[in-house]
Amino acid sequence: MTISNISHYQITGTLGHGGMGVVYKAIDQKLQRTVAIKSLPPESVGDEKLKKRLMSEARAASRLNHPNICTIYEVDEADGILFIAMEYVTGHTLSEEIRIGPLEIDRALDIAFQIAAGLDKAHRENIVHRDIKPSNIVLPQDGPVKILDFGIARILNRIVGESPDDAVTLQSNLTETGQMVGTVAYMSPEQLNAEEVDARTDVFSLGVLLYEMLSGQRPFRANSMIQLMSSILNDEPESLSRSNTTLPQDLDRIIAKALAKNRDNRYATMSDLQADLLRLKDQLKRPTHANQQKSLAVLYFENLSGAGEQEYLRDGMTEDIITELSKVERLRVFPRSAVMSYRDKEVTAPEIGRHLNASHVLSGSVRHAGNRVRITAQLIESHGGHTVWAERYDREMQNVFDLQDEIARAIAKALSIRLSPQEEEAIARKRVDNPEAYDYYLRGRRFFRRGTKKDMQSAAEMFEHAVALDPNFALAYAGLGHAFGRIHRYSDQNPQWVEKGIEACEQAMRLEPDLPEALSARAFLFYAHEQYDLAIQYASMALERKEDCEGAYFTLGLALFITDRLNEVTELADRAIEVSGDDYNVYLPYLNAFKKLKETEKASRLIQQHTRVLQWQIEWAPENVRARILLAANYASLGDSDAAVRELEKAIASSAHDASTLYNAACTYAVLGRKQEALSTLKQAIENGYWHFDNIARDPDFENLHDEPEFRLLIGQS
């Protein structure tokens, strides 16, 4: 019988047939969009109990909004047909691709990562898929991987008798014609044993999928259903790296952990699995040989625009030129932290080069007026001080990205470095196409580096403008995710900030899976959500990819400190400060660790170094309230009470209701021995949204308050 309509959906074609019904292509006549309609077998209509359960599961699944999940629009009954309306996805299934042969490792890891991302979203909503298999994974030609049949697979299988809810049903189906094999092959041991399932069940199934993608064969194989079940329950799969020496041994470890028989030995969450997949991808991209390098220090260009608000543009362009040049393997480029202290100082380029032991220095100037920008650049040899190359560029702002590429290529040519095809491609790759989006991103980055509640809100607004103008701007999504994490942690504990931040980070990772800034932002979101082990993992991965990645050492130090791994914090301190020297926030967890361990001399040295950075920051940006309140705390530690109170009062006058400012003011009063003022100000900080009582209890600045009943009452220890 030909069906022309189901409810308000006009059928335009048939997409497939199967044991679970027919899938049609249709037009939603209400919303005028193309959809896929899955009409379920007639027996599904007559079983009211199963139908009710299907409706409930589908409604839950329809709340999942994630790019890697095929969205369910509606589940309903019309004219005796029970149907599901869902997102129409073009492409082929993973089973079709595997049928051709094993996938390249990069593609397999990318597909697995995206599947894990979708499953992680579902698991956070307490929804387990239960039927992850190649035919439920669609690979569009353009766009993200899609997971089908989310949340309804168990009920659909029950309707057609393909997948059991208990051992008796399973046993009774063993004599059938084999239609269960495709599903059973991806089942976890707990499913076969009819035990309660959880997120780790999907981890097992994804492990089977990853193995099959890389080998073209399933890890558990047998000639009969009973043998297959026995293999899943008892056998260990063959090592992939042994049968294919081009595959790394770490891959075996990841798959073995995903396929552990005891679920307690598997990855606890999809985020854990994603972390290992990303780490493996990073290892595969590392060069296997060391090339002889020349070294280059890119100095901050001089701002000739005559307007203080244009500082963000010259800083951003300078830092992005550093990023472009860092893509050249045979050129050692100093990170921005190494050159930050020389910004706007009366020191010649050759002197800076010799001081840093850099063979060459790039200096220049930026003049921005209206829609045009003029950049001059000079490449100088440090030892002799002679100019190797110089150029002036007059461009419209819309061409500024091409200009950065040109400078990177010109520097490589001047240093007689021949770019590889991969380096050419990396330099040519644009992270943003819209100059206005780029401008908003740079503004957002400047606000973000200050750190007060108001600054974080402004940063988020700038990043939101950037992604609205360019939805493919991964760095802006990463910045947005990081800003939302800071807002949640330091000013507003509404969980929406974490959720929005995770979504922004996931979008950044979909656009650029290896983006260090996205990993750093995700690390802070884990920290904000008190998932400290994952925060440490992701911050470490970000630093493996980019040694001066924005915020990564700060998050790593915070997470290690809050978990009382103080010796690890202090071991990282020198490196963290070296590569993040201008980020005054990064000093805090490392300084607190030295204080907590009573390493007074090291703490004193770090306080003095931190104080110089803060003084320079305030000299450069007097409106920076966070730098000022941190400087007040340092003056108190150094015994300069007058300077401490002076800076403290200025900071509070500018930001009287900022929880973070009030918290650090309380620290300052406590170090000065003014206990009552410390307690009063700490109470104000809590009333204004500072809720991290575990941090208050650990902060060494409050040690002289620990015996005060009011302090113990404030942190809930009385």
Contact 336, 582 (CB under 8 A): yes
Domain final residue, candidates 396, 428, 460? 428
509, 514, 520, 526: CA torsion to nearest 10: 50
366 token code pair = 């930026």
Nearest to residue 393, comparing CAs of 301, 527, 296? 301
Nearest to residue 89, comparing CAs of 67, 111, 109? 67
* Pairing mode of beta strands 294-298, 137-139: unpaired
- Both 269 and 414 in one domain: the answer is no
Q: Please give, one letter per residue, the 3-state secondary structure of 637-693.
A: HCCCHHHHHHHHHHHHHHCCCCHHHHHHHHHHHHHCCCHHHHHHHHHHHHHCCCCCH
Contact 197, 130 (CB under 8 A): yes
- 259 Cβ contact list (under 8 Å, min separation 6): 204, 207, 208, 211, 219, 237, 266
pLDDT of residue 156: 44
Query: What is the number of other CB atoms lying within 10 angstroms of the CB of residue 121?
Result: 23
Alpha carbon distance 238, 224 (integer Å): 19
Where residue 14 sits, what CATH number does that domain have?
3.30.200.20
What are the b/e assignments for 361-378, b being 16+ CB within 10 Å?
bbbbbbbbeeeebebbbb
What are the b/e assignments for 481-520, b being 16+ CB within 10 Å?
bbbbbbbbbbbbeeeebbbbbbbbbbbbbbbbbebbbbbb
Alpha carbon distance 195, 331 (integer Å): 57
Alpha carbon distance 219, 453 (integer Å): 51
129 token code pair = 């898929």
- Both 145 and 243 in one domain: the answer is yes
- Both 135 and 47 in one domain: the answer is no
Alpha carbon distance 505, 519 (integer Å): 8
pLDDT of residue 578: 82
Where residue 203 sits, what CATH number does that domain have?
1.10.510.10
Alpha carbon distance 319, 322 (integer Å): 5
* Pairing mode of beta strands 331-333, 294-298: parallel
Q: Block means of pLDDT (10 residues each) for the chain, length 718 residues?
A: 84 76 88 88 67 74 85 85 88 91 92 94 89 92 85 48 36 34 80 91 96 94 88 93 83 95 95 90 64 79 73 83 87 83 81 88 87 89 88 82 83 88 84 86 89 87 96 96 92 88 95 93 94 96 90 96 95 88 87 94 92 85 89 94 94 89 95 95 90 88 92 80
Examine residue 440 and state whether it is found in any structural domain, yes or no.
no
Q: Which amino acid is at 378?
A: Q
Helices 552-562 and 587-596, packing angle to 10 deg: 30
Alpha carbon distance 512, 518 (integer Å): 9
- Both 548 and 682 in one domain: the answer is yes
Where residue 363 sits, what CATH number does that domain have?
3.40.50.10070
Alpha carbon distance 7, 74 (integer Å): 11
pLDDT of residue 717: 66
Examine residue 324 and state whether it is found in any structural domain, yes or no.
yes
Residue with tokens 């790759």: 429
Domain final residue, candidates 37, 72, 87? 87
pLDDT of residue 46: 65
pLDDT of residue 397: 76
Query: What is the number of other CB atoms lying within 10 angstroms of the CB of residue 564?
Result: 12
Phi, psi of 260 (to 5 degrees): -60, 135
DSSP state string for 12-62: EEEEEEETTEEEEEEEETTTTEEEEEEEPPTHHHH-HHHHHHHHHHHHHHH
Q: 339 lies in which domain range? A: 294-428
- Both 327 and 450 in one domain: the answer is no
The CA distances from residue 499 to 64, 113, 146, 368, 397, in Å, are 13, 19, 21, 38, 35
- 622 Cβ contact list (under 8 Å, min separation 6): none
Alpha carbon distance 17, 363 (integer Å): 66
130 token code pair = 């239960």
- Both 250 and 399 in one domain: the answer is no
Contact 267, 200 (CB under 8 A): yes
DSSP helix/strand/coil, 270: helix
Contact 139, 111 (CB under 8 A): yes
DSSP helix/strand/coil, 319: helix
Alpha carbon distance 254, 232 (integer Å): 17
Contact 109, 163 (CB under 8 A): no
Examine residue 73 and state whether it is found in any structural domain, yes or no.
yes
Nearest to residue 714, comparing CAs of 672, 683, 681? 683
Examine residue 537 and state whether it is found in any structural domain, yes or no.
yes
Examine residue 433 and state whether it is found in any structural domain, yes or no.
no
Examine residue 340 and state whether it is found in any structural domain, yes or no.
yes
Domain total in the chain? 4
- Both 397 and 485 in one domain: the answer is no
- Both 53 and 103 in one domain: the answer is no
- Both 569 and 654 in one domain: the answer is yes
- β strands within 226-371, DSSP E: 294-298, 302-303, 331-333, 360-369
Contact 605, 573 (CB under 8 A): no
- Both 158 and 72 in one domain: the answer is no
Domain final residue, candidates 285, 306, 338? 285
What H or E segment, with its residue span, contains residue 85?
strand 81-87
Examine residue 434 and state whether it is found in any structural domain, yes or no.
no
Q: How far is CA 74 from the centre of its chain?
A: 32
Where residue 465 sits, what CATH number does that domain have?
1.25.40.10
- Both 519 and 388 in one domain: the answer is no
Alpha carbon distance 513, 296 (integer Å): 28
Examine residue 437 and state whether it is found in any structural domain, yes or no.
no
Q: Please give, one letter per residue, the 3-state secondary structure of 195-220.
A: CCCCHHHHHHHHHHHHHHHHHCCCCC
Radius of gyration for the chain, computed over Cα atoms and rounded to the nearest angstrom: 29
- Both 381 and 302 in one domain: the answer is yes
DSSP state string for 514-527: T-HHHHHHHHHHHH
